[in-house]
């Protein structure tokens, strides 16, 4: 009974209703720099160095707000697999000079490790505000934080090589030609090479956004097709509303996670695919905890991290071209949230989200690249076009809460309305929401969700109209002495399009199937519901 009470006693803060405005929300202020402290590597010891910034002015209240400088020429970020040797040489020189600062001036905020520490501090709970831990993942802070982060990182590299037009490349993993580690990062002995990458990324291996580093016995073509289908689901089907794409509101002090679609997939799987495989029994001196890309504390130590997040940032721009209600958020509490960074001249600044909505105003843009995922809407029906009989599976009320997801589970679920008109669909999105997801946050976690599919659904081929989406999580870090390894999360899936594709619009009940993929043996889910929500 105690376990059930803990699971269900969190309230409804992050349910589907979280898509509606909150009257009491407030912007996230910059961190309290005096609170910055060490953190602990996920499933490991204390981080052997401090992620906190170099010494700041005694009176941090004097740190000014950043003003975007005038730009005569846009910096153009290009696909990493298409850059020429001249660019690669320039990029290697810039990273090499950044790494040299670590040796000559370890506290220089422009140094390679200090730049990596920015991510470590903001993402590993080093900072606090009013005694509550600050975290920029798993909410609407994710996209703007990383945009500002890359903005300053890029300008620092340009300053180091005296080239204000220098632009970071982007890892074009949403295009089959870019679904491999970019070649420039696979040249041993160069400043762009990270020896702690997972060996599986070498030799032009095709990445798999559908798994967590596990080797899958399938063809490269199927892997690429699955990747494109996942991109379609995350960019189009599951992201018709801004708060589904960006992630839910950030409420300081809560540990409930509601990441946006792209943060879940492909952002997290790319991290895991690239980072080392956790091996807690590895010999002394060998990677044990998923370094570098595989762990938040160390992700910035791999130069490909910034290339990866360049494409994440590009997805923000691409999403806004898809039409409908796909626009930037307008809530003041989002626009006025703040972060702290150093500029290329070592000056500390505060920045606001509202100033980073237009990349051209920030002085950069992305070279165009084909986006084939726009046409990869799943078109196969594993159920052979049949609508499953909901009376043959137990209702959700008989299944939830569940305290373990180690086998496929199917259940029926009531819909709030059926046979909706197109006007009704345009006004309100139908959202399938799993509330109070609890899991061990030291593990990689993923489960998939299907509509109108029975327990025997096989997830190897994602080209199924019944595939609704997935929940994923990268391991977290903890402060020293923090033994609470349980995180709470919410998964929200937009299903209006899926109901149409599977002939379910007129049904008052539907069948939902959960398929565990990774780390779900100890996963619990409190309840599930479908709601009609105004985007």
pLDDT in tens, 389-448: 999 999 999 999 999 999 999 999 999 999 999 999 999 999 999 999 998 877 778 899
Predicted local distance difference test score (pLDDT) of residue 281: 75
Helix (H) / strand (E) element for 7: namely helix 2-8
Catalytic residue among 33, 81, 112, 119: 119
Q: Which residue, 324, 343, 375, sits at the end of a domain?
A: 375
Confidence of residue 2 (pLDDT cuts 50, 70, 90): very low
Angle, helices 112-123/142-160, rounded to nearest 10 degrees: 170
148 and 225 both lie in a single domain: yes
Catalytic residue among 33, 81, 271, 436: 271
367 and 472 both lie in a single domain: no
Of the two residues 64 and 16, the one the predictor is more confident about is 64
Strand order in the sheet with 524-533: 256-257, 486-494, 429-440, 524-533
Q: How many domains does the chain have?
A: 2
Q: Which residue, 332, 348, 375, sits at the end of a domain?
A: 375
In a domain, 174, yes or no: yes
Catalytic residue among 309, 341, 376, 447: 309
Nearest to 133 by CA among 141, 122, 144, 117: 122
Q: Looking at 34-43, 123-132, 307-316, 357-366, which range is the least confident one?
A: 34-43
Is 267 catalytic? The answer is yes
Q: Cα–Cα distance between 75 and 488 in angstroms, integer?
A: 40
353 and 469 both lie in a single domain: no
From the annotation, which residues make up the binding site? 119, 137, 146, 267, 271, 309
Predicted local distance difference test score (pLDDT) of residue 178: 97
318 and 467 both lie in a single domain: no
Catalytic residue among 81, 137, 476, 478: 137
Average pLDDT over the chain reads 88
70 and 114 both lie in a single domain: yes
Nearest to 448 by CA among 380, 529, 514: 514
Predicted local distance difference test score (pLDDT) of residue 12: 36
pLDDT per residue over 119-147, tens digit each? 999 988 888 888 888 889 989 999 999 99
Nearest to 270 by CA among 236, 299, 229: 299
Tell me the backbone φ, ψ of residue 532, rounded to 5 degrees: -95, 125
Is 146 catalytic? The answer is yes
pTM over 0.75: yes
Helix (H) / strand (E) element for 494: namely strand 486-494
Span 268-290, average pLDDT: 82
β pairing state of 75-77 and 364-366: parallel
Predicted local distance difference test score (pLDDT) of residue 21: 42
Q: Which residue, 316, 343, 375, sits at the end of a domain?
A: 375
Catalytic residue among 142, 152, 296, 447: 296
418 and 359 both lie in a single domain: no
Span 271-279, average pLDDT: 86
In a domain, 208, yes or no: yes
Task: Show the CA angle centred on residue 124, arms to residues 302 and 260, nearest 5°.
Answer: 85
Note down the domain range covering 260.
27-375
In a domain, 16, yes or no: no
333 and 477 both lie in a single domain: no
CATH for 406: 2.60.120
Confidence of residue 485 (pLDDT cuts 50, 70, 90): confident
In a domain, 308, yes or no: yes
CATH for 105: 1.10.1280.10
Instruction: Report helix, strand or coil for 113.
Output: helix
370 and 456 both lie in a single domain: no
In a domain, 380, yes or no: no
In a domain, 13, yes or no: no
Predicted local distance difference test score (pLDDT) of residue 443: 75
Instruction: Report helix, strand or coil for 40.
Output: strand
Q: Which residues of 209-227 are buried (b: 16+ CB within 10 A; e: fewer)?
A: bbbbbeeeeeeeebbbbbb
In a domain, 276, yes or no: yes
106 and 204 both lie in a single domain: yes
Span 197-224, average pLDDT: 82
With pLDDT > 90 as the criterion, what percentage of the chain qualifies? Answer: 64
Is 81 catalytic? The answer is no
369 and 409 both lie in a single domain: no
103 and 71 both lie in a single domain: yes
Q: Cα–Cα distance between 97 and 158 in angstroms, integer?
A: 11
In a domain, 11, yes or no: no
Is 340 catalytic? The answer is no
Span 62-74, average pLDDT: 93
Confidence of residue 475 (pLDDT cuts 50, 70, 90): low
CB neighbour list of residue 245: distance below 8 Å, 6 or more residues apart:
239, 260, 261, 262, 319, 326
Render 199-247 in DSSP notation, one character per residue: GGGSTTPPP-TTSSS----S-HHHHHHHHHHHHHIIIIIT-SSHHHHHB
Of the two residues 237 and 482, the one the predictor is more confident about is 237
430 and 528 both lie in a single domain: yes
The 3 state secondary structure assigned to 422-487 is: HHHHHHCEEEEEEEEEEEECCCCEEEEEEECCCCCCCCCCCCCCCEEEEEEECCCCECCCCCCCEE
From the annotation, which residues make up the binding site for Cu cation? 119, 137, 146, 267, 271, 309
Residues in the chain: 535
Span 80-104, average pLDDT: 98
Catalytic residue among 166, 185, 267, 339: 267
Predicted local distance difference test score (pLDDT) of residue 207: 92
Is 411 catalytic? The answer is no
């Amino acid at each position: 009974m105690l376990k059930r009470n803990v699971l269900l006693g969190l309230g409804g803060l992050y349910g589907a209703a979280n898509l509606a405005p909150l009257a009491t929300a407030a912007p996230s202020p910059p961190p309290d720099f005096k609170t910055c402290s060490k953190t602990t590597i996920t499933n490991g010891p204390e981080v052997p160095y401090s992620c906190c910034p170099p010494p700041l002015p005694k009176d941090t209240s004097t740190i000014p707000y950043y003003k975007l400088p005038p730009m005569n020429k846009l910096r153009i970020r290009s696909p990493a697999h298409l850059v020429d040797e001249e660019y690669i040489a320039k990029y290697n020189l810039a990273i090499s000079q950044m790494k040299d600062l670590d040796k000559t001036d370890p506290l220089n905020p422009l140094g390679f490790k200090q730049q990596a520490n920015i991510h470590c501090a903001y993402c590993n709970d080093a900072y606090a505000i009013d005694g509550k831990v600050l975290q920029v993942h798993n909410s609407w802070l994710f996209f703007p934080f990383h945009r500002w982060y890359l903005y300053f990182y890029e300008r620092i590299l340009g300053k180091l090589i005296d080239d204000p037009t220098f632009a970071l490349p982007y890892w074009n993993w949403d295009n089959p030609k870019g679904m491999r580690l970019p070649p420039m990062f696979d040249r041993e002995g160069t400043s762009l090479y990270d020896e702690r990458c997972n060996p599986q990324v070498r030799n032009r291996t095709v990445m798999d956004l559908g798994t967590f580093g596990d080797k899958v016995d399938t063809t490269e073509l199927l892997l690429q097709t699955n990747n494109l289908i996942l991109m379609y689901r995350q960019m189009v089907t599951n992201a018709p509303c801004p708060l589904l794409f960006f992630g839910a509101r950030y409420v300081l002090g809560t540990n409930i996670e509601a990441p946006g679609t792209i943060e879940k997939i492909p952002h997290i799987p790319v991290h895991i695919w690239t980072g080392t495989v956790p091996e807690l029994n590895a010999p002394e001196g060998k990677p044990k905890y998923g370094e570098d890309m595989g762990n938040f504390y160390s992700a910035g130590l791999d130069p490909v991290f910034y290339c990866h997040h360049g494409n994440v940032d590009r997805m923000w721009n691409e999403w806004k071209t898809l039409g409908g209600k796909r626009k930037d958020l307008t809530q003041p509490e989002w626009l006025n949230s703040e972060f702290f960074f150093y500029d290329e001249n070592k000056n500390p600044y505060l920045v606001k989200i509202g100033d980073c909505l237009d990349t051209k105003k920030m002085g950069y843009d992305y070279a165009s690249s084909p986006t084939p995922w726009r046409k990869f809407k799943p078109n196969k029906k594993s159920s052979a076009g049949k609508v499953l009989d909901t009376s043959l599976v137990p209702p959700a009320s008989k299944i939830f809460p569940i305290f373990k997801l180690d086998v496929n589970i199917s259940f029926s679920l009531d819909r709030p309305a059926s046979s909706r008109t197109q006007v009704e669909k345009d006004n309100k999105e139908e959202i399938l929401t799993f509330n109070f997801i609890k899991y061990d946050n030291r593990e990689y976690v993923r489960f998939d969700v299907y509509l109108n599919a029975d327990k025997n659904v096989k997830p190897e081929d994602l080209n199924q109209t019944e595939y609704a989406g997935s929940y994923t999580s990268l391991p977290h870090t903890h402060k020293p002495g923090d033994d609470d390894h349980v995180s709470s999360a919410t998964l929200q899936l937009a299903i209006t399009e899926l109901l149409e594709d599977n002939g379910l619009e007129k049904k008052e009940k539907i069948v939902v199937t959960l398929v565990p993929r990774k780390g779900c043996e100890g996963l619990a889910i409190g309840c599930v519901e479908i709601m009609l929500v105004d985007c």
